[in-house]
Amino acid sequence: MKSRVQLGPVVVFLTLAINTAIAQQDGSPPRGIIQQYGINAASSLQSVTADPDSIPLLRSYSAVSDEVLQNPPESDWITWRRTYDNQGNSPLDEVNRLNVTNLQLAWHQPVTPGNNMPTPLVHDGVMFLYSAGDVVLAMDASNGELLWRYSHDGSAVTSHKFGIALHENKVLVPTSDLHMVALDARSGNVIWDHAIDTNGNTGHALRSAPTIAGGQVIQGMAASRVPGGGFIIAIDLQTGEETWRFNTLARPSEPGGNTWNNIPLQERQGGSVWNTGSYDAELDLVFYGVSPTYNTAPLLYPLGIEGVSNDALYTNATLALRPATGELVWYYQHIPNDQFDLDWIFERSIVELEIEGQTRKVVITAGKPGLFDALDAATGQYLFSVDPGIQNIVSAIDPVTGTKYINPDVIPDAETIRTVCPLYQGGRNWPASSIDSESKMLFVPMFEVCMDTLLNGEGTLLSSGLQMDAVPVPGSDGNFGRLQAIDLQRQELAWQHRELIPPISSALATAGGLVFVGYLDHSFKAFDQETSEVLWQTELDAIPSSFPISYSVDGKQYIAVVAGQLNLHTGIWLGLMNQFTGYVPANPGAAALWVFAL
């Protein structure tokens, strides 16, 4: 008999709330960054600005120009995935296969507790961290010494985020009350503060780190159940004023507007953009992914009217936009009319591959089914797909167009329970893949779990009422976690590392031949890129559900990861592992930044 767990919103958010509360408990005395302020709620922390003339590290901080963003120093981790191409790869190799066993804790600093999945940024030896509760910390990246702190004075419930962005003398910060704030990188003072106009609607959220391109701060907006859906906005870097916005759900009178079964605009919901875009300066294009809609009931069946479809553009699509104007240059919809909440929202990575004897810039991306698509970055032409075998939704793919043919055995049914893989939480989720620039090998954290579905009106996530009960993969050997390596040049699967506990952080590949990944059981591991062998691991005192990075200061390489700031994804997997295996995590310590070195 299959083991089932119904993951309704109440269960999910209760699990998250409980574990977040646990993560805030710590009996040890406060220290480091928050030593003089105590371990308080993030909203009660005061901003602390700096006099850059009196601090040598801030005085010598250099501007992050467009040229620096396009070609960052090897020592820096300067954007969300280090470089505009979103490869999540570090060129540093001081820490490598031969000596990673000597890696040990260099410094450790508590940070504000709360929901988050942050990415530290490092430039000129200064680390900037978006911490939970709309707090931004500037630290000495060699030892964690606090340089300044910004605490946003907003009334909204704080939401988890990927991080922040740097440009010239600015730190660009998306906030929980839907502001974009530009801080002075040397002092922490506010340069400008822009409140994003949501046209009177509520339910929006900022999740991703901004992308800087074309003189703009470009930011996606999540809008799961908001009438009219999400959008991508550009804010002028100099003035702090909105330049353009692109609506991710096609309007009735605009191109693609006839793909929503003729439902009115207010019923077109979703199209969230909660993953950070990539940018190619040569093509002058930014690339974003778009989520599906929860209002699936009006789209279940086509109307049979000529010229009208239920594809629901631009959900589950890759968008290529001009950064200065917001012009849509091309789009590609990976799966139309998604009835399972299996977003194709995640990172769009740009990599050069040889395709039929020609070197081409390729956009690589995978949705929750774990199925990777490759598109020509200049045109959006479909090139190829690689399927790690976690999904049973797509039964065939047209080799020319990439059109996906849906397995008829998974189509929602009102009388028959159908096992659909993966679960709506995904065979992969926000933990981002990493690509080794030399070998063209991609490493992605993955999750092996399915769902039994029944169209009985009892489901609470989708308006179709589809009940979706989590179940193990049929015939499962008991392993729920996978780290999958994919050879992009050969367009085929390489090795995989599978174990009971799922990975919970993004992947970090380095030129030292290593891949770093954090796990739900508090472990943080380094794998051999070529063999999948675990070469090093350490036990943190909390879950490292974040984006690990690598950087160097004065020639010394560091590996950094935040642990103890939880999020919805973490809460769901804690519940799943408890239901399936009885797993109960160790009592977590305080949220903290862990930094390792030789």
Say if CB 58 and CB 126 are below 8 A apart: yes
Type of residue numbered 403:
T
Of 534, 521, 524, 591, which is closest to residue 104 (Cα–Cα)?
524
8-state DSSP, 100 = G
d(CA 487, CA 577): 30
d(CA 131, CA 115): 9
pLDDT at residue 153, rounded to an integer: 85
pLDDT tens across 223-268, in order? 999 999 999 999 999 999 999 999 999 999 999 999 999 999 999 9
d(CA 40, CA 349): 38
d(CA 87, CA 477): 32
Of 357, 326, 79, 339, which is closest to residue 215 (Cα–Cα)?
326
pLDDT at residue 5, rounded to an integer: 38
d(CA 370, CA 556): 36
Strand 89-90 and strand 508-510: pairing? parallel
Question: Beta-carbon neighbour count of residue 309 at 10 Å?
Answer: 18
Spatial strand order of the sheet with 179-184 comes to 165-167, 170-174, 179-184, 190-195
Kindly calculate the radius of gyration of the chain based on its CA atoms and give it in whole angstroms. Answer: 23
pLDDT at residue 21, rounded to an integer: 32
Q: Which residue do the tokens 């090897």 mark?
A: 74
Question: Beta-carbon neighbour count of residue 388 at 10 Å?
Answer: 21
Of 313, 310, 314, which is closest to residue 299 (Cα–Cα)?
310
Say if CB 90 and CB 77 are below 8 A apart: yes
Domain of 343 in residue numbering reads as 5-589
pLDDT at residue 44, rounded to an integer: 53
DSSP string of 382-441? EEEEE--S---SEEEE-TTT-PEEEPGGGS--SSS-EEESS-TT-SS-SS--EE-TTT-E
Type of residue numbered 455:
L
d(CA 39, CA 590): 9
Q: What string of H, E and C letters represents the secondary structure of 68-94?
A: HHHCCCCCCECCCCCCCCCCCEECCCC
Question: Which of the residues in the chain have pLDDT under 50?
Answer: 1-43
- For residue 12, CA distances in Å to 171, 279, 413, 430, 459 come to 33, 34, 25, 17, 14
Question: Beta-carbon neighbour count of residue 579 at 10 Å?
Answer: 16
Range list of β-strands (E), 475-545: 481-487, 492-499, 508-510, 514-518, 523-528, 534-539
The alpha carbon of 261 is separated from its chain's Cα centroid by a whole number of angstroms, namely 31
β-pair partners for 366:
372
Residue 214's Cβ-side half-sphere holds a number of Cα atoms within 13 Å equal to: 22
Query: How many residues make up the chain in this entry?
Result: 598
d(CA 394, CA 422): 11
8-state DSSP, 456 = S
Say if CB 183 and CB 191 are below 8 A apart: yes
Question: Beta-carbon neighbour count of residue 54 at 10 Å?
Answer: 8
Type of residue numbered 41:
A
Torsion sign (Cα): 67, 71, 72, 75: negative
Does residue 464 lie within any of the structural domains? Answer: yes
pLDDT tens across 310-361, in order? 999 999 999 999 999 999 999 999 999 999 999 999 999 999 999 999 999 9
The CATH number assigned to the domain holding 295 equals 2.140.10.10
Does residue 598 lie within any of the structural domains? Answer: no
Does residue 314 lie within any of the structural domains? Answer: yes
Residue 345's Cβ-side half-sphere holds a number of Cα atoms within 13 Å equal to: 31
Cβ-proximal residues to 126 (8 Å cutoff; 6+ apart), any chain: 57, 58, 61, 138, 139, 140, 141, 147, 185
Phi, psi of 435 (to 5 degrees): -120, 125
8-state DSSP, 218 = E
Say if CB 444 and CB 503 are below 8 A apart: no
Number of structural domains in the chain: 1
Torsion (CA) 133, 134, 140, 142 in degrees, nearest 10: 50
Does residue 155 lie within any of the structural domains? Answer: yes
